[in-house]
Amino acid sequence: MASRGLSEEEALTEMNKMVAFIKQEAQEKAREIKAKLVKQEQQAIDAQYEKKRKGAEVAQKIAQSNLTNKARLRLLSRREEHLQDLFSTARSAISSLSQDSDRYTKFLEDVILQGFLSILEPEVKVFSRPQDVNTAKVAASRAAEGYKSISGKSVSFTVEGTLSGDLAGGVKLISGSNRISLDNTLDERLRLLEDRMLPEIRKDLFGINENRKFYT
């Protein structure tokens, strides 16, 4: 039996169904594409926001670090000024030592004797400030007697006033062989004392710095 063809009305109905189906598929695809585009756009916005947020956090940390460093540097500067004031007071104090003849002569005697015992050679050159030559000669003579009493040996010496008159005082000694030299000027002794005492003075004045691994 031969199949009957679709009537015009039936064909039109089927055509409308196909159009509706295609239209629905297109709309769903469009919604899918739109949703994907919206998601991608949101992700891009989120990523941009996160980047800006992190950048702002970094900038804030840098600014805070700069402020902290500036405050720390100001504090360190004030501390250093305070320490320098202390050392300046000490320098003034030792400068006045040479004004007391008896004390200064005894000081020179002690440091020259210390030098003789460190050098342990029969001849030593002693250098003083020009204004201290006579005082240094008296002190060196007494130191030579003390050296002989301690070591049982004699030492001969010369005194030359070739040190700078701007120094606070004291002497330098050089062995007769020129192999050993000692700086026993007041200025050098104060400098060594500053280097040795500086960590302890800082701790006494400002407390222990917990940022240091070793408290020195």
- CB distance 158 to 127 below 8 Å: no
- CB distance 85 to 118 below 8 Å: no
Report d(CA 193, CA 185) in Å as an integer.
12
pTM, to two decimals: 0.57
Q: pLDDT means per 10 residues in the chain (216 residues)?
A: 66 81 83 82 82 85 83 72 74 82 95 96 97 97 96 96 94 95 92 75 61 50
Question: For position 5, what pLDDT does the model report?
Answer: 64
- CB distance 184 to 111 below 8 Å: yes
CATH code of the domain made up of 100-195:
3.30.2320.30
Q: What is the dihedral sign for C-alpha 145, 151, 156, 157?
A: negative
